[in-house]
């Protein structure tokens, strides 16, 4: 995985400062930790945030800015100084480099040049970052093809399974803003929600975001949906991307529970995800929705290719449709099959305890653990199909036995 660099910048010119901020939002290996508009305050900003990179625009007051480069370099030797300027004067470039700057870039900044400079700085750090998180996290979005298919149950229990390894730090983001209930599954009453984070997006940093999450005793963090039902969008897609970028830099795994509406926020989450798990069951309504959803996602570049089908409640006694017929209908392989264990799952939910603690030896728990391991390994192969349950009759010719 790529390293994430935390950056603080000083630029008295608001226009160029905002232009840089816009560029940084599109680079997922950089997090803008702080921005400053006064040279005289920047040393305090660096001392408080301890970034990996201090980016200094020297144009407003070159003499003071050159002095600042030296101050940052001497006081924080682990912080790489990157200087930007519209000037191409050799004397100015020589001064900032002598004072300790690692890179000098001309404005207007070109994205390729900027990323190349970041790569050189990252390489000089040995591929690691300073005091922030070292790796970009994996994002997994989980969507249900209908109500009650088990998408939230999979979100909660997959995250809890990941948390059993102390090297992991999973966080659940409940994007079902109207009817999400991940907090119920974990039996926690959160103090803050995703609305609070969105309302403070302008000053969002590691500390604020961490305080906005609620931690379950199993090690899973939760960013829940808003408490009140309301009209309108409590969070914008751009704000969501910013939140996910910081979470991705802070946590090992982001597990996103999206709504059944497949709206703008849901699609934004899928766009930035490494995988999207589409949860279904073997009934006519669900399988029809699988086909409809996959056709809908064809409109969006880079989403459909990341979708994996998860069949829940395999072996359900009253299932009318065999797995083989389901595969013919949806026209693609099933990535994983979760066995039917409704009683155990309901017991875990009613107790607010993840399966890994409520029933660690249950077949369903083991299957979720195996799924999580396969997802973490990056293996894209599907789990071999098990023997399909016997059909009891064909009400629908589409699924009738041949």
Whether the predicted model's global pTM rises above the 0.85 cut: no
DSSP string for residues in 357-399 = HH-TTSHHHHHHHHHHHHHHHT--PPPPPPPPPPP---SSGGG
Q: Please report the pLDDT score of residue 355 as a whole number.
A: 97
Q: What's the pLDDT band for 113 if we cut at 50, 70, 90?
A: confident
DSSP string for residues in 309-320 = EEEEEET-TT--
- Quick one: three-class SS letters along 283-299? CHHHHHHHHHHHHHHCC
Residue 371 has pLDDT above 60, yes or no: yes
Residue 212 Cα to chain centre, angstroms:
16
Residue ranges of domains in the chain, CATH in brackets = 5-124 (3.40.50.2300), 138-399 (3.40.50.300)
Q: Please report the pLDDT score of residue 136 as a whole number.
A: 57
Ramachandran category for residue 100: left, alpha or beta (phi over 0 → left; psi -120 to 50 → alpha): left
Q: What's the number of CA atoms in the CB half-sphere (13 Å) around residue 44? A: 6
Q: Residue 43 in contact with residue 50, Cβ under 8 Å?
A: no
Q: What's the pLDDT band for 273 if we cut at 50, 70, 90?
A: very high
> C-alpha angle 193/357/388, rounded to 5°?
100
Q: Please report the pLDDT score of residue 385 as a whole number.
A: 46
Instruction: Specify the higher pLDDT residue, 270 or 241.
Output: 270
Q: What's the pLDDT band for 1 if we cut at 50, 70, 90?
A: very low
Report the percentage of the chain scoring pLDDT > 70. 87
Average pLDDT over residues 252-277: 95
The residue behind tokens 């056709």 is 295
Q: Is the dihedral of CA 390, 394, 395, 398 positive or negative?
A: positive
How does pLDDT run across 221-247, given as a tens digit for each residue?
A: 999 999 888 766 778 898 898 888 778
Query: For residue 131, which of 197, 194, 251, 49 has the smallest C-alpha distance?
Result: 49
């Amino acid at each position: 995985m790529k390293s994430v660099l935390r950056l603080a910048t000083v630029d008295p010119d608001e226009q160029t400062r905002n232009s840089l901020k816009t560029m940084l939002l599109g680079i997922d290996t950089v997090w803008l930790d702080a921005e400053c508009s006064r040279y005289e305050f920047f040393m305090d900003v660096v001392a408080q945030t301890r970034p990996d990179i201090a980016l200094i625009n020297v144009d407003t007051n070159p003499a003071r800015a050159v002095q600042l480069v030296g101050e940052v370099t001497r006081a924080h030797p682990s912080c790489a100084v990157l200087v930007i300027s519209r000037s191409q004067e050799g004397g100015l470039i020589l001064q900032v480099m002598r004072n300790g700057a690692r890179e000098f870039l001309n404005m207007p900044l070109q994205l390729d040049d900027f990323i190349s400079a970041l790569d050189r700085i990252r390489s000089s750090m040995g591929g690691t970052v300073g005091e922030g998180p070292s790796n970009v996290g994996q994002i997994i979005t989980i969507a249900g093809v209908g109500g009650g298919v088990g998408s939230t149950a999979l979100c909660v229990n997959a995250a809890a399974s990941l948390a059993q390894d102390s090297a992991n730090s999973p966080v659940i983001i409940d994007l079902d803003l109207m009817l999400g209930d991940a907090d119920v599954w974990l039996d926690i009453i959160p103090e803050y929600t995703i609305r609070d984070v969105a309302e403070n997006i302008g000053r969002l940093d590691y500390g604020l975001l961490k305080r906005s999450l609620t931690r379950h005793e199993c090690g899973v963090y939760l960013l829940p949906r808003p408490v009140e039902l309301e009209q309108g969008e409590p969070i914008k897609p751009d704000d969501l991307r910013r939140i996910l970028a910081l979470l991705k830099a802070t946590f090992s795994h982001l597990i996103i529970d999206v709504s059944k509406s497949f709206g703008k926020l849901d699609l934004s989450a899928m766009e930035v995800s490494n995988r999207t798990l589409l949860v279904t069951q073997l009934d006519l309504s669900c399988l029809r929705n699988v086909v409809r959803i996959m056709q809908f996602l064809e409109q969006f570049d880079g989403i459909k290719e990341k979708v994996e089908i998860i069949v829940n409640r395999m072996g359900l006694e009253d299932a009318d449709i065999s797995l083989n017929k389901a595969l013919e209908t949806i026209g693609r392989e099933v990535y994983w099959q979760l066995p039917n264990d409704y009683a155990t799952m309901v017991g875990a939910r009613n107790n607010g305890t993840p399966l890994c603690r409520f029933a660690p030896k249950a077949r369903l728990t083991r299957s979720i653990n195996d799924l999580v391991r396969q997802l973490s390994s990056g293996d894209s192969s599907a789990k071999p199909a098990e023997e399909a349950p016997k059909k009891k009759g064909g009400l629908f010719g589409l699924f009738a036995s041949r």
